[in-house]
Amino acid sequence: MAEDGPPPFDVTEGRGALVVSIPHTGNFMPRALNDRLAVDASVESDADHHVDRLYDFLVSTGASVIKANWSRWYIDLNRPADDSPLYPGQSTTGLCPLQTFAGKALYPGGDVPSPLEVSDRIAACWRPYHDRLQALIRRARARHGRVTLLDAHSIVSICPRLFEGRLPDINLGTNGGRSCSAELRERIIVLLKAQNRFSWVADDRFKGGYITRHYGRPQDGIDVVQIELAQCAYMDESVPDKWSDARAADLRALLRQVSVILSG
Ligand SMILES: [Zn+2]
């Protein structure tokens, strides 16, 4: 990969039974491509802002963490490589998005990625991310006999093109109960029910994307859950780059409790 910029992803390997995937927190775009876009990805992006920071306590618990550095506008790691729709019949975003969440065309003048460009992006970012994620899952399962994968996300709380109204703070996705054991799903739900600081739903609008659906095989000892957070639950959405420990503190405390359950 001869492009400028950071590696496609960073990995921290731990010895625990929890693997965490953070596929959308990066906002890097190669300069030549960024110049083609209607917006500057380094300033405005549909990234899952600060999700890596929100969960930075995990490394000390022994979890392995893989975090993408490149923008989902380059390639979306949580979509299948053949770009089949995750939510047929609903508005969704694709493998190499052509629009922002708000519906703005990313490639003015129709200069959209060619099939060759899409396959280059798969080879540069998508395939290496998934190869490494797969290796982390295998390694943890070999060591512990089982593994839990958390696919960690966040999104703006109001996005009319993608969902109605204001998103609940915490959106647990288990592909309708198929991506993890019933017991694990229930333990998380019991924890969420026991608090009243944050609103939450399970397997509602966000049921889990490609990563949740592809890797979740509870019958083979691989439990996967997706947590999609509304960004207003931990940051000022009007100022995407502004992180505040104070704003995030309550949510981080709850996520710590979730991670204890996930770590088994
Ligand atoms: Zn995301």
Segment among 200-209, 238-247, 248-257 with least mean pLDDT: 238-247
Q: Quick: pLDDT tens for 178-236.
A: 999 999 999 999 999 999 999 999 999 899 999 999 999 999 999 999 999 999 999 99
Residue 201 maps to a domain: yes
- Asked whether residue 16 carries a pLDDT value surpassing 70, the answer given is yes
How far is the centre of ligand 1, averaged over its atoms, from the C-alpha of 46 (Å)?
Answer: 9
Comparing CA positions, the residue from 79, 83, 60, 57 lying closest to residue 68 is 79
Q: Quick: pLDDT tens for 155-180.
A: 999 999 889 999 999 999 999 999 99
Residue 241 maps to a domain: yes
- Asked whether residue 2 carries a pLDDT value surpassing 70, the answer given is no
Q: What integer best gives the mean pLDDT of the chain? A: 93
Residue 229 maps to a domain: yes
Q: Using the 8-state DSSP alphabet, how is residue 67 labeled?
A: E
What percent of the chain is modeled with pLDDT above 70?
98
Q: Which residues contact 252 (CB under 8 A, 6 or more apart)?
A: 54, 57, 234
Residue 96 maps to a domain: yes
- Asked whether residue 12 carries a pLDDT value surpassing 60, the answer given is yes
Q: Provide φ and ψ at 114, rounded to 5°.
A: -80, 165
Strands 222-230 and 170-173: antiparallel
- Asked whether residue 1 carries a pLDDT value surpassing 50, the answer given is no
Instruction: Give the CATH number of the domain where residue 29 resides.
Output: 3.40.630.40
**Higher model confidence: residue 241 or residue 44?**
44
How far is the centre of ligand 1, averaged over its atoms, from the C-alpha of 48 (Å)?
Answer: 5
- Asked whether residue 6 carries a pLDDT value surpassing 70, the answer given is yes
How far is the centre of ligand 1, averaged over its atoms, from the C-alpha of 178 (Å)?
Answer: 20
pLDDT of residue 9: 98
Residue 171 maps to a domain: yes
How far is the centre of ligand 1, averaged over its atoms, from the C-alpha of 24 (Å)?
Answer: 5
Q: Quick: pLDDT tens for 113-125.
A: 999 999 999 999 9
How far is the centre of ligand 1, averaged over its atoms, from the C-alpha of 181 (Å)?
Answer: 23
Domain range holding 16? 9-263
Taking only Cα atoms into account, the Rg of the chain, rounded to an integer number of angstroms, comes to: 18
pLDDT of residue 3: 55
pLDDT of residue 92: 75
- Asked whether residue 134 carries a pLDDT value surpassing 80, the answer given is yes
pLDDT of residue 242: 81
Total domains in the fold of the chain:
1
Comparing CA positions, the residue from 158, 138, 154, 146 lying closest to residue 226 is 154
What percent of the chain is modeled with pLDDT above 90?
81
Residue 224 maps to a domain: yes
How far is the centre of ligand 1, averaged over its atoms, from the C-alpha of 229 (Å)?
Answer: 9
How far is the centre of ligand 1, averaged over its atoms, from the C-alpha of 190 (Å)?
Answer: 24
- Asked whether residue 65 carries a pLDDT value surpassing 70, the answer given is yes
Residue 3 maps to a domain: no
Angle of the 245-263 helix axis to the 182-193 helix axis, nearest 10? 150
pLDDT of residue 237: 87
Residue 1 maps to a domain: no
